[in-house]
Amino acid sequence: MILCVAIVGQQNNPLYLQSFAGGDDVLKFHYIVHCSLDVFDEKASILRRTGTNLNDNFLGLLYPAEDYKVYGYMTNTRVKFVLVTSDLELKDLDIKTFFQRFHAAYIDVTSNPFHVPGKRIASPMFRDRVKTIVSSFGQL
């Protein structure tokens, strides 16, 4: 089950965090996402060195912990998406599709002329859209 999704900006500033695990412990998710940021840079530089060009954006499993897994996705503008899930068996393909849909929703919300890049995303429409994407996760 997806516990939380987050968006972090270019300067590692938090742009968005939505938790689906019951409301409390949002701080724990902030902490998890923050810790995963180091892994982002490491993974990104590894991929660059090995020269893989396919699916540059999807960085795969960032780090596993006892009761959850963290996946990462970085766009070409160095905006990072983080997915925290408690499911231990998840197909990479499902996660990639999820991130692509999430990326599309992110593009739409940043195209709003009233959105200031770098500020937190507070749009109720985006929140609803993310909820839909999360609930249809895994179902093709």
Partner 1 sequence: MAPAKPGDAAFANVDHVNAELFTLTYGAMVRQLLTDFEDVEEVNKQLDTMGYNIGIRLIDDFLSKANVTRCSEFRETADVIAKIGFKMFLGVTATVSNWNADFTECSLVLDDNPLVDFVELPETCQGLYYCNVLCGVIRGALEMVSMRTEVKWARDMLRGDDAYELRLKLIEHVAEEYPYKDDD
User: Least distance in Å: CB of 129 to partner 1?
Assistant: 12
User: Least distance in Å: CB of 59 to partner 1?
Assistant: 27
User: Would strands 80-85 and 2-8 be described as parallel, antiparallel, or unpaired?
Assistant: antiparallel
Cα–Cα distance, 137 to 96 (Å, whole number): 11
Q: Cβ distance 102 to 32 under 8 Å?
A: no
- Choose between 40 and 102: whose C-beta lies nearer to partner 1: 102
- Choose between 22 and 113: whose C-beta lies nearer to partner 1: 113
Which residue ranges make up the site for partner 1 (CB under 8 A)? 108-109, 111-114, 123, 125
CB atoms within 10 A of CB 133: 19
User: Least distance in Å: CB of 133 to partner 1?
Assistant: 17
Torsion 55-77-124-26 (CA) sign: positive
- Choose between 35 and 125: whose C-beta lies nearer to partner 1: 125
Tokens of 69: 């897994």
User: Least distance in Å: CB of 114 to partner 1?
Assistant: 5
- Choose between 50 and 76: whose C-beta lies nearer to partner 1: 76
